[in-house]
Amino acid sequence: MYRMKGRICIIFVWVSFFCINNILAQANYYVEEPHLSFEGGLIFGTNISQVDGDTYWGYHKVGLNTGATVYIHFSNKIGVSMDLLYSQKGSRAASASSSANFGTVIDQYHMDLNYVEVPVTFHLRQAVNFLDAKRVIDFEMGASYEYLIKTSEWAVIDQQTIVIDPVLNRFNNDDIEGVVGASIKLYKNLNLNMRYQYSLTMIRPADRVPIGFSYGSGQYNNLFVFRLIYYFGKKEDN
């Protein structure tokens, strides 16, 4: 079953890359229709994440968020976009902490989750006055499908490295996250995008979390995203 899902994911990724590549290649030659236009762009940024349901607090895990995007404009104010991303998430604990339930000192904890991510968001562009200047802010809301391609999890307990069983304590292959965000133009075709994302489905149920590494509940991705997006052939905002 997992092999079949993996093959389907690989086919989906290749098809998506092919479509995005063609749109990017033709972006500068596209003849705009009266009420519909397309833009392609490249994305480079970072995730600042934690995992709710482990025993640690704070957005200490920093990872890549990079890929490509296609933005469809239905009007000057309304549109929809789809990204194809490589996205690194997880959890970090760098300082010593104690567990009252298990009496164990945790010196370090590393959880690395690498995803192929496909967010689809709906956009509303609104002009606002900001610092005595008129700015166009692009608000967005939607959901992101994610397929897990690589994991790593280990801890240092009492100065001994503990490798957590990747099969017994495996994560779910799929995740769906809610997405809210906003973008603002920095210079010409370069935009700053900020998002908040949270898992709508568990990334790992409670019965597969290592003993002593949770509060007895399932686990969820929780992250802020900061990205630069360069659009090809983007029109100047008013």
Note the pLDDT tens digit of each residue in 118-170. Answer: 999 999 999 888 767 788 999 999 999 999 999 999 988 777 788 789 999 99
Q: Over pLDDT 90: what percentage of the chain?
A: 59
Q: Over pLDDT 70: what percentage of the chain?
A: 76
Residue 233 CB neighbour total at 10 angstroms: 17
Task: Report which of 58, 156, 154 is spatially closest to residue 107, judged by C-alpha positions.
Answer: 156
Q: Which residues pair with 137 in a beta bridge?
A: 126, 184
d(CA 102, CA 212): 6
Q: What is the per-residue pLDDT across 34-71, written as a single tens digit (0 to 9) for each?
A: 467 999 999 999 999 999 998 888 899 999 999 999 99
d(CA 192, CA 82): 17
Q: Is the dihedral of CA 61, 62, 66, 72 positive or negative?
A: positive
Could you state, in order of their start, the residue ranges of all structural domains in the chain?
2-232
Class of domain 2-232: mainly beta
SS3 201: coil
List of residues 6+ apart from 174 with CB closer than 8 A: 145, 146, 147, 148, 201
230 token code pair: 């360069």
Task: Report which of 22, 4, 219, 221 is spatially closest to residue 117, judged by C-alpha positions.
Answer: 221
**pTM of this prediction?**
0.79
In the block, tokens 């972006």 appear at 27
**Dihedral of the alpha carbons of 34, 36, 41, 43, in degrees to the nearest 10:** 140
Residue 126 CB neighbour total at 10 angstroms: 11
**Left (φ > 0), alpha (ψ -120 to 50) or beta: where does 216 sit?**
left
d(CA 37, CA 88): 31
Q: Which pLDDT belongs to residue 162?
A: 81
205 touches 181 (CB < 8 A): no
d(CA 218, CA 223): 17
